[in-house]
Structure 1
């Protein structure tokens, strides 16, 4: 079959001549030949698949430079690139969805016609940190108070004081009067203070020392919990008998899982599964995940370091949170489970239960 005119190629590829001219101008789909006299674009039949691929990628919203990279790759690498792009789109969408939910809820509370009555709630809580059976020192910090719940897992030569400093920088939130609508702003400001506190702890140490910390914390208001998270410590919610992980690990291995380059089973045994790409520390990307959770009676929250989540199977964590009613007993049992499985790392956890106040 010979070359196709732009009209015939448009029909074969199900694209308009206008779109084909645009793809040519952008360098995404160059005609096989341009008639030197008429200027008509002529296409080879084997360009149809590429034309459709470009159109599909444009429909996904992929940037032009990335489309060019996909089109220049072999099928396997191209699929990997599309998977990675879409994982990022979904992550960005989730962030915007959380913000939209917060704004809807925030504005609804200001509208008497949309406001809703809520029952008075309180929390019971407990925090515990343990060195484990292998490490010589404990770089974890766990804290639970009337309004603040937090876990930090320090790393590097001054990891222990770094984690403690991060949580200490948040403790003023326990007593500050914060309107419900300003929860996330207050928490964001406090995290910046925590970042500076970790930087001060690291001092003039060399970057190779890697001083930093994870931070997973929740600020309680009586009806809502504002969550801040950076690193690979985790937050879980037990609601209606089901256990949900409400944080996303900021590790290189998790990013490979998100992009489809590793399976969850492969990630669990990967030698670099603890390598962070986000943490609080000098030179680190310190932009945390932040969101707002509506609290319900009988909710149970768990914040923990990876000394628990990477060691104790999730079904066992679920069982403890479901069966042990007292938070203090629950944290002791969780740490005991980690140590029974070898206690390879420091292990810390905070358990908080939401209860309805008796009227």
Structure 2
């Protein structure tokens, strides 16, 4: 078997020796032989194909943990399906950033906002359930004509904290967003929610809440997100996760130090890196500093179905099950019932809250945002 030094192999694979050492540590691309005396790595020529695949997937921006899953597949057709699914998610996220860029260009250039050819509105339903294990419910779920929100409180006053955060946003449901100012309006509302949570927590950093909310403008949805409550989009039969968890475990997955499967059973999987808390001042964990929460716009399409949920749903049911239940339900109320029932049938280990909203064509006389 012909062997190459790590330097020669790196040049042939168009990878750096540093990257090869990292891939060795992550069990992504092990050397064929390691010198027992010097520790020097040697690679087989036959490993070049896998190394080049890793290099190409890294150029796509695929996380290391996902690359390891692709490389572990023995059937090239299965690997192709995984890459196709990953790229579909990237395109959805890119489209959301494109929508925000177009919005900002229109706002800064003074371009008149284009009127939608079809008036759209939301049909929605929300419910929060204690689950089968927890003695109290610390979640809050809300759905109105313009505002959708889910918050998951924690600490001795977690329930009041989540309720206070959502209540601070409730005025958005009756106040039409100003033209070109929806993100600013939503950002101001989140600052008010932060203050409300601090009042409830009375200065304790052990009390706080996550928050995921969508604000309807008539053709777009403005998102604010902090913590591990989630937003999903069901579009054309495919389910996309709109939000990114602000947790320690998710950061380890992003760095390639954990696989998604390992993250599901990690002892610190509930440890939040960001939340709205009662701590004074600002910082990455408090939600008080500008930029510590996610804020962006999403272009809505007729037929879209959005799901907002607490981690009592997302950590209990796999995404395939979420997609199946969301696709099968005839309306938002049926979807909410099916999702919560399924979480409880799976053990109901946590409070579970769901908001489901459909983007539909407005009928005569119906509110269209």
- TM-score, normalised via structure 1 length: 0.72
Larger-Rg structure: 1
Whether 2:265 is the aligned partner of 1:256: answer no
Distance in 1, Cα, partners of 2:358 & 2:233:
10
User: 1:107-256 alignment to 2 at 5 Å?
Assistant: 107-108=105-106, 110-111=110-111, 115=114, 117-205=116-204, 207=205, 210-256=206-252
CA contact (8 A) 1:202 1:211 kept: yes
Q: CA 1:100 to 1:245, structure 2 compared with 1: closer, same or farther past 3 Å?
A: closer
Q: Which residue of 1 is the match for residue 341 of structure 2?
A: 336
Q: Which residue of 1 is the match for residue 21 of structure 2?
A: 75
Runs of 4+ in 1 over 2 A off after TM superposition: 73-80, 94-101, 105-112, 114-118, 282-285
Q: CA 1:265 to 1:108, structure 2 compared with 1: closer, same or farther past 3 Å?
A: same
Picking from 266, 273, 280, the partner of 1:270 is: 266
| Superposed CA RMSD | 3.2
Aligned length, in residue pairs: 288
Q: Which residue of 2 is the match for residue 105 of structure 1?
A: 103
Q: Which residue of 1 is the match for residue 329 of structure 2?
A: 324
Q: Deviations over 1:182-239 (max 9, x none)?
A: 111111111011111111111044x4xx111000000011111101111101100011
Picking from 300, 309, 313, the partner of 2:318 is: 313
Q: CA 1:211 to 1:185, structure 2 compared with 1: closer, same or farther past 3 Å?
A: same
Deviation at 1:78, TM superposition (A): 10
Deviation at 1:118, TM superposition (A): 2.8
CA contact (8 A) 1:87 1:259 kept: no
CA contact (8 A) 2:93 2:242 kept: no
Q: Deviations over 1:90-149 (max 9, x none)?
A: xxxx9999666424234348536x946431001110100000000000000000111100
Q: Secondary structure at the match of 1:228?
A: strand
Distance in 2, Cα, partners of 1:351 & 1:320:
12
Deviation at 1:358, TM superposition (A): 4.1
CA contact (8 A) 2:96 2:298 kept: no
Distance in 2, Cα, partners of 1:96 & 1:169:
31
Q: Secondary structure at the match of 2:276?
A: coil
Whether 2:357 is the aligned partner of 1:349: answer no
Q: Secondary structure at the match of 2:132?
A: coil
Q: Which residue of 2 is the match for residue 289 of structure 1?
A: 294
Distance in 1, Cα, partners of 2:328 & 2:94:
35
CA contact (8 A) 1:108 1:115 kept: no
